[in-house]
A = this chain, B = another copy of it.
């Protein structure tokens, strides 16, 4: 999913500036399944405006810098929905953690234990964050999406916790540290 489409998605639900879109994408409900940074959002919005899929107006604020608020047009809405209706690509999962897991036999035991615990804690934190978000956001679809994310994260955490020992046991024992730096 490219940044262009992500911008349309955010604007579909209401006006926003580039700054605000980025915030929603990085910190908000979208953050678990899409990605975008300033350097891609601003050019994308400029092109969307050029193409007539969004309109822009400048809002002067006192104290804060002026912002450029974008709103989606009818054409923009149609294009976005058309895109959603097209056959979807598969979800993709990219994991350094699993690569790490595949090579535990080559890595020191304490490091393996540490990383597994960190990962478990990271997931726990994400689950808590999600719970907070769920309270603010009450639209049924958003709850569904959060529920999906929660189900997957919980499964991952349970697996890591339940099978921690198996990996730690096959990791390199005490001898001098591999990969010391």
Contact = CB atoms under 8 A, between A and B. Distances in A.
A34 interface: yes
Contacts of A5: 99
A178 B13 CA distance: 17
- Total copies of this chain within the assembly: 2
The binding surface of chain A is classed by DSSP as helix
A100 interface: yes
Contacts of A51: none
Interface of A: 1, 5, 9, 12, 32-35, 78, 81-82, 84-85, 88-107, 111, 115, 122, 140-142, 144-145, 147-149, 151-152, 154-156, 158-160, 163, 166-167, 170, 178-179, 181
